[in-house]
Chain A
Amino acid sequence: MNASADIRAEPRLVGLSAVSGPSLSLVGVPNCGKTALFNRLTGSRQKVANYPGVTVERKEGRFAGPSTGRVYRLIDLPGAYSLEPTSLDEAVARDVILGRHASEPPPDLLVCVVDATNLRLNLRLVLELKRIGRPMIVALNMSDVAKQRGFRLDRAALERALGVPVVETVAVKPGGERALVEAIDQYRFTEHQTHVETPPPATAADIEATQREVRRILDEIGYRVPPRVALLSKLDSVVLNPIAGPILLAIVLFLMFQAVFSWARVPMDFIQDQINALGKVIGATMPAGPLRNLVLNGVIAGAGSVLVFVPQILILFFFILSLEDSGYLPRAAYMLDRLMGKVGLSGRAFIPLLSSFACAIPGVLATRTIPSSRDRLATIMIAPLMTCSARLPVYALLIGAFIPQRSVGIFNLRGLVLFTLYMAGVLSAMGVAFALKRTVMRGEERPLLLELPEYRFPNVRNLALGLWERLRIFLGRVGTIILALMVVLWFLASFPAPPGGATGPAIQYSIAGMLGRGLQFIFAPIGFNWQISIALVPGLAAREVAVSALGTVYAMSDTGDVAGALAPVIARSWSLATALSLLAWYVFAPQCLSTLAVVKRETNSWRYPLIMAGYLFVLAYAASFITYHVALALGAT
Chain B
Amino acid sequence: MAPLLENILVGLIVATCAVFSAWRLMSPRLRLRTLELFAPALGKVAPGMLTRLRTRTIGQLSGGCGSCSHNKTAIHHRR
Among B2-10, B33-41, B44-52, the one that faces the other chain is B2-10
Number of interface residues of B (CB under 8 A): 33
A535 to chain B, nearest CB (A): 16
Q: How far is the CB of B70 from chain A (nearest CB, A)?
A: 5
**Contact bitstring A461-485, B, C-beta under 8 A = 1, else 0:** 0000000000000000000110111
Q: Decide: B6 and A290 in contact? CB cutoff 8 A.
A: yes
Cα–Cα distance between A480 and B20 once the two chains are bound (Å): 8
Q: What's the Cα separation between A483 and B71 when bound, in Å?
A: 26
Contact residues of A between 563 and 587, Cβ < 8 Å to B: none
Which B1-47 residues have a C-beta within 8 angstroms of A? Answer: 1, 3, 6-7, 9-10, 13-14, 16-18, 20-21, 24-25, 27
Taking the closest CB of chain B, its distance from the CB of A212, in whole angstroms, is: 37
Contact yes or no, B21 A485, CB < 8 A: yes
Chain A, Cβ-Cβ closest to B77:
A66
* Pick from A64, A487, A541: contact of B74, CB under 8 Å: A64
A597 in contact with B17 (CB, 8 Å): no
A-B contact pairs, 24 of them (CB 8 A): A41-B76, A44-B69, A44-B71, A45-B69, A45-B70, A55-B66, A57-B63, A58-B63, A62-B73, A64-B73, A64-B75, A65-B76, A66-B76, A66-B78, A178-B79, A181-B76, A289-B3, A294-B10, A294-B13, A362-B65, A365-B64, A484-B18, A541-B21, A593-B25
**Minimum Cβ distance to chain B for residue A224 (Å):** 33
Cβ of A615 under 8 Å from chain B: no
Chain A, 7-46, CB within 8 A of any chain B CB: 41-46
Whether B20 lies near A42 (C-beta < 8 A) is no
B74: nearest chain-A partner, CB-CB = A43
Alpha-carbon gap, A103 to B70, bound state (A): 21
Distance in angstroms between the alpha carbons of A86 and B49 in the assembled complex: 43
Q: Are A46 and B63 in contact (CB-based, < 8 A)?
A: no
Distance A289 CA – B5 CA, assembled complex (angstroms)? 11
Number of CB contacts from chain A to chain B under 8 A: 108
Which chain B residue lies CB-closest to A42? B74
Interfacial chain A residues near B79, Cβ < 8 Å:
178
CB-based nearest B residue for A290: B10
| Interchain CB contact under 8 A, B70 and A44 | yes
Q: Are A487 and B14 in contact (CB under 8 A)?
A: yes
Residues of B within 8 A of A188 (CB): none
Q: How far is the CA of A58 from the CA of B66 in the complex (A)?
A: 8
Residues of A within 8 A of B7 (CB): 290
> Within 8 Å of chain B (Cβ to Cβ): is A291?
yes
- Is A120 engaged at the interface, CB distance under 8 Å to the other chain? no
Whole-angstrom CA separation of A66 from B75 in the bound complex: 7
Q: Does A63 contact B (CB under 8 A)?
A: yes
A60 beta carbon closer than 8 Å to chain B: yes
Residues of A within 8 A of B75 (CB): 63-64
Q: Which residues of B contact A41 (CB under 8 A)?
A: 74, 76
User: A180's closest neighbor in chain B, by CB?
Assistant: B76
12 other A-B residue contacts (CB within 8 Å) besides A59-B67, A480-B24, A488-B18: A42-B74, A46-B69, A59-B63, A59-B69, A62-B71, A62-B72, A66-B76, A66-B78, A103-B62, A294-B13, A365-B64, A481-B21
Residues of B within 8 A of A481 (CB): 20-21, 24-25
Q: A484 touching B24 by the CB < 8 A rule?
A: yes
The chain A residue with its CB closest to the CB of B62 is: A103
Q: CA separation between A42 and B20, bound complex, in Å? A: 31
A498 within 8 A of B: no
| Chain A hits for B24, CB < 8 A | 480-481, 484, 541
Q: Do A71 and B65 form a contact, CB below 8 Å, given A290-B10, A483-B17, A491-B14? A: no
A46 contacts B76, C-beta separation under 8 Å? no
Smallest CB gap from A538: residue in B: B21
